Structure 1
């Protein structure tokens, strides 16, 4: 091969090598993609691990909550602040009540859509609707107002001193409040719910399944008093901290009027021979076993009445001398020879006792009755006084609780 031919062959070899695209030993784009894939896989694995840890933690927490009796299993019908409705500022004068209004200066009154305070203020309650009962909240925090029953159920409102109304509960079948206004219980579907009231919020709700006819009727300390069946005697105590409601041994209690400050329940029971309605004090620490029973004049089946703030007096509907009356009972002397005094016309609606020991309620004619214990003991019966500012079919609703 000549020198010229060798040079030509070398040139052709180099030309072919240049024309062939050889892969790079290191591909930057591929390397970046592979690194990104690896990082993504690491983050995914880490996320899965964290999720697993969180799931275990939450599951453990749920298991622990499940082991703690009385914990809620699903949301309640609590509404709270989103439904707050600012109302007009209260006017300084109480213009709806006449000067001879027997409740003025002692108890607050709900007169239709107006809350007339004992101090002379007037708060308009356009959103609250007809009120079934109300009570003052502790420390001057306002009022708890339970609405009258409707097709949708009952409602619970908190009205603040400056006039703002906050809807706490709606659609509840029955609502019971504790004496101090710090606890509430209500029937919701097939469950009974108990919770605390803090400001304008319902907190720490606990639930328990209950029989179809069971409803809350009050509190004995931290325990909820439950009537098991509206058509049968018998009540039970539900202590949310101890678990679900259990039927107690009480099959004699017909009605509950309230509790004394020590938690003793004041009730109407079926007792005596032959069996008849009597009054009794029940011990909440012994499944509502009777402590004392008095079978004097027969208390009415309507169950209307109320216990005084100090727990000594019961004002209750009954019969005396063959006539329906509101009767005054000295609970400290309840027994076989209980003395019961006629006090006034029959009670219609709630009874509100003042801390000073006077009782107020509405009579059948929408008059307001004031019961002074000392006058009743002296043989004087009270009568109703008309109240201005009420519409047709309305009655004044006296507000219970301390100031």
Structure 2
């Protein structure tokens, strides 16, 4: 069927206006359209960058507000803690405060303040700890080959130290020079050794004889000797006279160091001696009254240790463990019970007042020149006795000395004084 043309109809068999578009023209038109859209962009319905920025600002404000709130809480807690510290019986714990964003945050606990671990005891006097000398100034020196030390004493004028050790062959007296040199043997194989309180004289028993000598620069000089009574041992000095203890409770005697002298008669009522006063009298114990109870006495060595003054009162031990202070006022010794006693020698009269002074003495007592007595108790602890505190009612206790084996009992080194 053929269609006829209509003047008002644009659909004819052929185009009256040819509209041929080449591929290049189509591509160019597409390019122009896209370029126009880039030059004049339409606003996006949702901007991802703007959203991210707004969220970040909101999060920052929340964190700032959280920090300020926690800071306020911390201020309140600290203020409340300070107020509680000022109240009796308040909570004395230290609060832990964390500032910042708490979400998903687990802070590590702050370190709690604790007391420092106890370290080695620093004593006012030198100590021998096992095979080591530790001075009051903190210096240490090994005592090579010395063996177990029984007693030790610092020499005057920085002259070093004297130490007595026990060996199977007897007592050995060592001199430790002050320059760090090894210990040197002064005596070996003695039955007993005694050193004067000032460190200038030494007495010892060797077999059947008593010996005594001066000590200068680590050398024994001007030695004397005399036959010894059976079983007698030197225990100390009163001036130049050697104090001799008879075995058991046989009493005490004196021996002058002058050439050819013999020990004096024995005073059987003298039970113990503790030291010498400046006037030459000796502080000791005598058996007084009936049945011969131990009493504190002042003894005259020039009259065969006859008592000059005697005071009785407390029950006293007769083990001879004790010493008098450098100012000659105080005597620390053992009571008959399980305690040491402190006695004021200035008040010595017909009666004696004794003050309990802590654990009993099991070895020597050493006094500092400032008036503190030091000794080691049965547990190996160091005991400090201050007379002023004892008079106020204090009961001294032992302090543990770290780094000392149980078998190595510490030894307090006596001060040589002037």
3-state DSSP of counterpart to 1:279: strand
| 1:215 partnered with 2:233 | yes
Corresponding residue for 2:253? 236
Is 1:332 aligned to 2:346, yes or no?
A: yes
Task: For residue 301 of structure 1, report the CA deviation from its aligned partner.
Answer: 2.7
Query: Is 1:119 matched with 2:133?
Result: no
> Which residue in 1 is equivalent to 2:360?
346
* TM-score, reference length from structure 1: 0.72
Contact 2:314–2:353, Cα closer than 8 Å, also in 1: no
State the 1:236 CA deviation: 1.2
Q: Which has the higher contact order (CA 8 A, sep 6+)?
A: 1
Change (3 A) 1:256 1:297: same
Indicate if the aligned counterparts of 1:355 and 1:402 stay in contact, CA closer than 8 A.
Answer: no
The match for 1:260 is 277
Q: Would you say 1:378 and 2:392 are equivalent positions?
A: yes
- Is contact 2:270–2:284 with CA below 8 Å preserved after alignment? yes
Paired with 1:367 and 1:277, the residues of 2 have a C-alpha distance of: 28
Give yes or no for contact 1:317–1:326 (8 Å, CA) kept in 2. yes
Name 1:297's counterpart in structure 2: 314
> How far did residue 245 of structure 1 move?
1.9
Aligned to 1:27: none
Moved more, 278-287 or 186-195: 278-287
- In the aligned structure 2, how far is the partner of 1:100 from the partner of 1:151? 31
Name the CA shift for 1:98/1:205 in 2 (closer, same or farther; >3 Å). farther
- TM-score scaled by length of structure 2: 0.69
Residues 133-152 of structure 1 mapped to structure 2, 5 A cutoff = 133-147=151-165, 149-152=166-169
Deviation of the 1:175 alpha carbon: 0.4
Q: Quick check: 2:120–2:402 contact (8 Å CA) kept in 1?
A: no
The alignment partner of 2:364 has SS state of strand
Instruction: Write the distance in 2 (CA, Å) between the matches of 1:208 and 1:338.
Output: 38
Counterpart of 1:198 in structure 2 is 216
Over residues 58-80 of structure 1, what are the superposed CA-to-partner deviations in whole Å (9 max), with x where a residue is unaligned?
A: xxxxxxxxxxxxxxxxxxxxxxx
Judge conservation of contact 1:174–1:216 (CA < 8 Å) in 2: yes
SS of alignment partner, residue 332 of structure 1:
helix
Take 1:359 and 1:99, find their aligned partners in 2: how far apart are those partners? 22
- What secondary structure, in the 3-state scheme, does the structure 2 residue paired with 1:110 have? strand
Runs of 4 or more above 3 Å deviation: 97-100
1:108 shift after superposition: 0.4
Select 1:169's aligned residue among 157, 178, 187: 187
Please list every run of 5 or more consecutive structure 1 residues that lacks an aligned counterpart in the other structure: 1-96
Partner of 1:312: 329
Deviations 1:84-141 (A, max 9, x none): xxxxxxxxxxxxx95472xx25110000101000011011102211110111101111
Larger radius of gyration: 2
Instruction: State the Cα deviation string for residues 130-166 of structure 1 (Å, max 9, x = none).
Output: 110111101111111111x332110111111222211
The alpha carbon displacement at 1:167 in A equals 0.9
Judged with a 3 Å threshold, the aligned counterparts in structure 2 of structure 1 residues 383 and 267 are, in CA distance, closer, same or farther, namely: same
Contact 1:124 1:163 (C-alpha < 8 Å) held by counterparts: no
Is 2:262 aligned against 1:245?
A: yes
How many equivalent residue pairs?
300
| C-alpha distance in structure 2 between counterparts of 1:324 and 1:105, whole Å | 24
- Deviations 1:343-382 (Å, cap 9, x if unpaired)? 0100111111000000110001100000011001111110
Q: Distance in 2 between matches of 1:162 and 1:401?
A: 18
In the alignment, which residue of structure 1 is the partner of 2:290? 273
Corresponding residue for 1:107?
125
Query: Does structure 2 conserve the Cα–Cα contact (< 8 Å) formed by 1:282 and 1:292?
Result: yes
Alignment-derived partner of residue 198 in structure 2 = 180
- Rounded to whole Å, the distance in 2 between the matches of 1:133 and 1:334 is 29
Which segments of 5 or more consecutive residues in structure 2 lack a partner in the other structure? 1-116
